[in-house]
Amino acid sequence: MPRIIMTLSAALFCLAASNAAAQTSLAVAKDYKIRRIVTKVDPAPPIKKIPLQVLNFKQNVGGSFVEFEFASNYKAAALVNLRNASSSTDLDDAELTSPGKLHRVSLVNLQPNTWYEAQIDLLPSESFNGEALPYKVEFKTLQRHVYVGITNIHVFDDSDELSAGDMNFVFQIGDEHGNFNAPGNSWDFINFDADLHSGTSFNPAHAGRPHFLAAENVNFDKLKIAVSNFETDGHQYASYIPPTDMYLGSGCLSRSEWNSGFIVVDIAGSFLAPGAETAQQRESMLQPFAIMVPPTDETDLHYLVEGLISVGNYASN
């Protein structure tokens, strides 16, 4: 009998121990689940997208043009707006490039020696949802310089039956609207004497005469070149001596006669030499010119002037 009681007590003890172990295991499991919830890692924040922007910007500035070269870090079109810096609202030009990452823009027919402001706005594709940064630049165009050289004068009629014509030539350059009929309105002038027969030619440079006219920082689009020839039958008989910087027109007085002529030449824009390879060459010019001065009802003076026009653009000092 005592053995049965002891066996039963042992069994009850084992069952109690087994239940206690099960409860402890459940508590550990519950605690483990709670700890997993508490220590759960939050998701990483989204990576911020790099803004769309202009990179590697370069510019080439002339007297009447500007060229921009630049890249964008995403594929986009580029809208370039240009305005004169002295104007607060008016746009001078605008260009839109094709979508891509490399962009090249040429803006032409600008005014020389002038400050401009440009803004580049990148227009991304529809798939881009980030920020696009504008790019601003300021530049000054080059100054325009004009040079005129007289290379030849050919006299068809010196209007002097007894001897060579005693001639005084006056050359003037200036704006097409400049009043050359009054002294002091030309950009530059030269004058010299020459005794020339009918049918002869004369190169002032070879004869040691002035032959070169120059004007710097020219902001006009048209150049006027004028010549006047005042002829007398011997200087001692001259009844009128003209100013050295004045367009004479045509006329006669006693033993004196005079006859004049002029031409107007376009020196503006970016297409003075369309066949040139670079923009600088296209806006420069080396061009011959001729002024034919025919006889009039007032004088038989008849002559031809030939020369060269040179236009270049340079940075201001």
299 and 156 in one domain? yes
User: What's the count of helices (H) and strands (E) in the chain, helices before strands?
Assistant: 2, 16
The CATH number of the domain holding residue 242 is 2.60.40.150
**Listed residue (70, 71, 69, 117) closest to 94, CA to CA:** 117
Final residue in a domain of this structure, among 124, 140, 156: 140
Helix (H, G, I), strand (E, B) or coil at 270: coil
Q: What are the Cα distances from residue 114, in Å, to 10, 142, 263?
A: 111, 8, 27
pLDDT for position 8:
45
Its domain, for residue 211, covers: 144-314
Last residue of a domain, one of 99, 119, 140: 140
Residue 203 lies in a domain: yes
In a domain, 46, yes or no: no
**Sequence-separated (6 or more) residues with CB below 8 Å from residue 78:** 54, 70, 72, 96, 97, 103, 105, 120, 121, 122, 123
Q: What is the pLDDT of residue 271?
A: 76
How far apart CA 174 and CA 214 sit, in angstroms, is: 10
The residues near 232 (Cβ < 8 Å, ≥ 6 apart) are 166, 238, 255, 256, 257
Count of domains in the chain? 2
If asked whether residues 120 and 178 sit together in one domain, one would say: no
Contact 97, 75 (CB under 8 A): no
Tokens matching residue 129: 């949802």
CA-to-CA distance for 20 and 13, rounded, in angstroms? 11
Q: Last residue of some domain: 123, 140, 157? A: 140
pLDDT tens per residue, the chain (317 residues)? 444 444 445 544 454 555 555 555 544 445 545 455 555 666 656 556 789 999 999 999 999 999 999 999 999 999 999 999 987 667 778 899 999 999 999 998 899 999 999 999 999 877 778 889 999 999 999 999 999 999 999 999 988 766 666 889 999 999 999 899 888 899 999 999 888 889 999 999 999 999 999 999 999 999 999 999 998 876 554 445 566 788 989 998 877 889 999 999 999 877 788 788 888 888 899 999 999 999 999 999 999 999 999 999 988 76
* 249 and 258 Cβ atoms separated by less than 8 Å: yes
- Residue 66 token pair: 């500007």
Helix (H) or strand (E) holding 263: strand 256-266
Same domain? For 251 and 272 the reply is yes
Q: How many CB atoms lie within 10 A of CB 69?
A: 14
Q: Is 206 exposed, middle or buried (0-12, 13-18, 19+ CB in 10 A)?
A: exposed
In this structure, is residue 120 part of a structural domain?
A: yes
Position 15 in a domain: no
